[in-house]
Amino acid sequence: MAEVAPRAGCGTLYVVATPIGNLEDMTFRAVEILRQVGAIACEDTRQTLKLVTRYGLHARLISYYQPREGQKIPLILCLLGEGKDVALVSDSGTPGISDPGFRLIREALRAGVKIVPVPGPSAFVAALCASGLATHRFVFLGFPPPKKEKLRRLLVSLGSEEGTLIFYLPARKVGEFLSLAAEVLGHRDAVIARELTKIYEEFIRGTIADLRDKVQSMKPRGEAVVLIAGAGKSKTVSGNV
């Protein structure tokens, strides 16, 4: 993508990370930015309303969600073009990571808008740092293909990858995913992280096959982060926390 110099008089698009569960994880800077901007572009206004209510914020909320994000980009770019600052948030965590924020950021850059990241929580980073798996090299893969054959091809392509593999999955899909991962990737350490930063936060550790068997009795809820050791890196990290 060709770089476009920021336009004079144009507002700034702030990419603001928000809590992944515990609202106390909001940073001071993020609160101040959300207090100052003219509008907040968010995936689900109901989710973001909880956050703005908690911190006494009053910015205009603009619903910006997949697959209709394209309908709101012209409105957001118009506000930015008028010199108004806009904050982009996701339902949780860092915008642009496995959510529709990427498209707005890309179009804003093309329009000469200044982009400012306001860093903070990220589910996969939180899961990785507490997983016990190698952190010096990792591959974040977001939500894997839902269809079995496409997923199989992806896992096969990752067979020799030495970095820790990180996926986001709906909780109800974790068992099916692990069954195929055990078949394709074999005996490797793995970790399921779910309900991160919430009351029932849980890390389940073992081999891929161990976790496949354990999730059969789990009640599917929300989304989970699944981490798998890279090729040749397994040392059997086990236990629940």
Total residue length of the chain: 241
- CATH 3.40.1010.10 domain range(s) in the chain: 12-118
**Segment 22-46, tens digit of pLDDT:** 999 999 999 999 999 999 999 999 9
**Segment 100-142, tens digit of pLDDT:** 899 999 999 999 999 999 999 999 999 999 999 999 999 999 9
- In order, the DSSP letters of 58-90 are -PEEEE--TTSHHHHHHHHHHHHHTT--EEE--
Distance of alpha carbon 80 from alpha carbon 17, whole angstroms: 20
Instruction: Give me the CATH code for the 123-240 domain, please.
Output: 3.30.950.10
Distance of alpha carbon 72 from alpha carbon 31, whole angstroms: 24
User: Tokens 């997923």 sit at which residue?
Assistant: 151
- CATH 3.30.950.10 domain range(s) in the chain: 123-240
Angle, vertex CA 31, rays to CA 29 and CA 36, nearest 5:
95
